[in-house]
Amino acid sequence: MISLPGTVLSLVMILAAVALVAPFAHADLKVDGSAYDKSVIIELVSDSEVVSYFKVWAADGTSLDSFKAESGWAGEKMSDGSILFTTSDRNPNEKTKFGLVADVPLKKLSWEAGDGNDSAGTGVLVLVDEPKLKPEPEPEPAPEPVFRIVPERPNIGSTIRVVGESLQPSADFDFYINDGMIGTFTASGAGYFAGTAKIPANIDPGRAEFRLGSGDDALTLSIRLDHPGGLSPLSAVFSLDKTPDAVYRGDSITLRGTGDPDARIIIEIKEPDGSLANSLISQADEDGRWSADPVVFAFDAPFGTYTATVTDGHSSKTGTWNVESSRVMDIRALETVLKPGEVIRFEGTGLPNEQIQLAVENPDGNKVGTEFFTTNDTGRVEYEYQTSADSKLGPYTLIATQGGQTEFVHTSLGKKPKFDFNLELDKNSYARGETVVISISGDKSDTLGLAILSERGNTRNVEYEADVVLDPEGRGLHRVVLGSNYTEGTYTAKLSKGNIGDEEKFGVDLRRTSPTLVLAPVKDVYARGETMLIVGTTAPGTPSKSDISFECDSNSKNVQIIIRLVDPDGKITRSKPTFIDNNCGVI
């Protein structure tokens, strides 16, 4: 058994769409009701009669699915499909309502009322359809205010017709193009106006904003303006804008030009060997301008002259540019693997008429050969390093510095190493707050570990760590800002991959004092071209630095010094800025 919603009962009692006609009327008994769709509300009224049961059923056999009775009455669905309502405390002069729900809209409804075995009356209620009440239509929303321009695409300097509709009645509206007012219109009592305005001749072709009114409720319209007379000076011109003379790997260029409006532009780009590198399609806009997608040059793009051919199907244009190396220097080793005693030769080019610094670093990381010179007009660079039979086996690296750039050229004595990588600092001493610029070389697109280590006696602590990804040419540039955690002392920049590494020392906040310094080359006699290795200390006669208990005097460490080489004539031939480290040793 289900209950009828109270809202439905209220509705059908007041605004019934279907009425129960021919109600039964007896001197002491009255049955009446109302219905809506499948629901029926029956009202039983007895004056002096006592009614203890009320039975109802559908005369045409329609099933009564559910029912509801007022408090004090009980309902039961009988086996014959009827609904029997009973009460034990029914009093005369009472009104009782019953609710019924059928499976389909009801046509007829039969009933019987009485007390015990005595019937007080029976009847049939017949249902008839009545017109349904139609809801009042909602008022139509007011139309949005609009204005339009005729023609839709006017020319500069022409006269246009302006039409406004659904505007504020009898109001004045200023009319603007971009920020300049070109007219005023007054709406009729119905909010309508039609008038003319002239587009100034000094407006540039292209898209312009027309505005009706001012303030937040102004109406705007964006329209493209044609050239005077409707003809664009670009309409008969097909061109390709000038291309750059040179680009570098990793750069991109965008090809642009002019042509007939809406023309289809086909672009082919060929590499230096004539092979097709890329093909693009563009389309000119309404003003005849076209622009293709950017052309990106990979890091391994071949060097040389590239050619772009552009056509609209009637005319063709070409443009060229060179893909060049962004390196200031281009130096290579003539041999990548040599035997001890052979000469390592390097050659290439650098900036012409500029000073260049060359240094050869051995497998221990020591500079074993250096040279400073100024290149000639051609920028030609040639350098040789003579190895000996007892030279250490492993990688040898030429470090070349010119024009603020550093390049690394790798070669090896004996067996080619598994990895070739190096790092070089832009200088060897810094003040706190400065930035260390680290130039790195290695294999193409390789990933190397970089760490900055602080040194306190024989202890090293990691102050900074990062992974450095080299570009497709095997180069990288990394910067480290020396923050407040970098106190006075000696630090090491270490580059590593697996258990192989390269490192350089540098100082922070070094002092400028004059401690006692003992300095000497490792041997007394050198051959021309041989590298001089110099050792020194500001703590002579102290225990070995390998002694863990050794501690350098604070006045004798972290000091900047300059080592100068003086020839037999008393002239300074070489100078090298360096410093005394935490252990009172010369770096």
Summarised one tens digit per residue, pLDDT across range 256-301 is: 998 888 888 999 999 999 998 888 889 888 778 899 988 988 777 8
pLDDT at 346: 93
201 phi-psi bin (left φ>0, alpha ψ -120 to 50, beta other): alpha
Structural domain of 77: 6-129
Report the number of distinct structural domains present in the chain. 6
Distance between CA atoms of residues 54 and 110, nearest Å: 11
pLDDT at 62: 79
- Whether residue 140 lies inside any domain: the answer is no
User: What is the residue type of 278?
Assistant: N
Mean pLDDT of 224-247: 73
Mean pLDDT of 99-115: 83
Please give the span between the terminal C-alpha atoms of the chain, in angstroms, as a whole number: 101
Q: Tell me: the pLDDT tens digits for 510-566?
A: 888 777 778 788 888 877 656 777 888 877 665 544 444 456 777 778 888 888 888
Distance between CA atoms of residues 90 and 71, nearest Å: 11
pLDDT at 139: 72
Q: Tell me: the pLDDT tens digits for 35-82?
A: 777 888 888 887 767 788 888 888 777 788 888 888 778 888 887 888
Q: Could you tell me the pLDDT band of residue 4, with boundaries at 50, 70 and 90?
A: very low
| 109 and 18 co-located in one domain | yes
- Whether residue 139 lies inside any domain: the answer is no
Q: Tell me: the pLDDT tens digits for 371-403?
A: 888 888 888 899 999 888 888 888 898 989 888
- Whether residue 550 lies inside any domain: the answer is yes
Percentage of residues in the chain having pLDDT higher than 90? 17
pLDDT at 486: 92
| 100 and 20 co-located in one domain | yes
| 208 and 256 co-located in one domain | no
- Whether residue 586 lies inside any domain: the answer is no
| 478 and 566 co-located in one domain | no
| 69 and 40 co-located in one domain | yes
pLDDT at 5: 40
pLDDT at 19: 47
Q: Is the pLDDT of residue 493 over 80?
A: yes
- Whether residue 372 lies inside any domain: the answer is yes
Q: Tell me: the pLDDT tens digits for 351-371?
A: 888 899 898 988 887 888 888
| 24 and 125 co-located in one domain | yes
| 543 and 429 co-located in one domain | no
| 125 and 150 co-located in one domain | no
267, 289, 324 — which closes off a domain?
324
Distance between CA atoms of residues 91 and 154, nearest Å: 90
Of residues 240 and 547, more confidence is placed in 240
Name the pairing type of β-strands 459-469 and 475-481: unpaired
pLDDT at 408: 85
Q: Tell me: the pLDDT tens digits for 430-457?
A: 999 999 999 888 888 889 999 999 887 6
pLDDT at 10: 34
483, 509, 535 — which closes off a domain?
509
Distance between CA atoms of residues 192 and 439, nearest Å: 74
Q: Tell me: the pLDDT tens digits for 139-165?
A: 777 788 999 988 887 888 888 889 999
DSSP labels, 234-287: TTT--EEPPPPSEEETT-EE--EEE-STT-EEEEEEE-TTS-EEEEEEEE--TT
Distance between CA atoms of residues 347 and 329, nearest Å: 10
Torsion of CA 233, 238, 240, 241, to 10 degrees: -10
Q: Could you tell me the pLDDT band of residue 127, with boundaries at 50, 70 and 90?
A: low
Q: What is the 3-state secondary structure (H, E, C) of 520-548?
A: EECCCCCCCCCCCCEEEECCCCCCCCCCC
| 312 and 217 co-located in one domain | no
- Whether residue 135 lies inside any domain: the answer is no
Distance between CA atoms of residues 216 and 478, nearest Å: 53
| 219 and 275 co-located in one domain | no
Cβ(317)–Cβ(340) under 8 Å? no
- Whether residue 476 lies inside any domain: the answer is yes
Distance between CA atoms of residues 290 and 241, nearest Å: 10
| 185 and 243 co-located in one domain | no
Joined tokens for residue 246:
């040179």
Q: What is the CATH number of the domain that holds 186?
A: 2.60.40.10
Q: What is the CATH number of the domain that holds 107?
A: 2.60.40.290
Distance between CA atoms of residues 491 and 474, nearest Å: 26
Joined tokens for residue 483:
């923050």
- Whether residue 57 lies inside any domain: the answer is yes
Q: Is the pLDDT of residue 192 over 50?
A: yes
Q: What is the CATH number of the domain that holds 256?
A: 2.60.40.1930
Q: Please, what is the average pLDDT of the chain?
A: 81
509, 526, 552 — which closes off a domain?
509
pLDDT at 431: 92
| 205 and 243 co-located in one domain | no
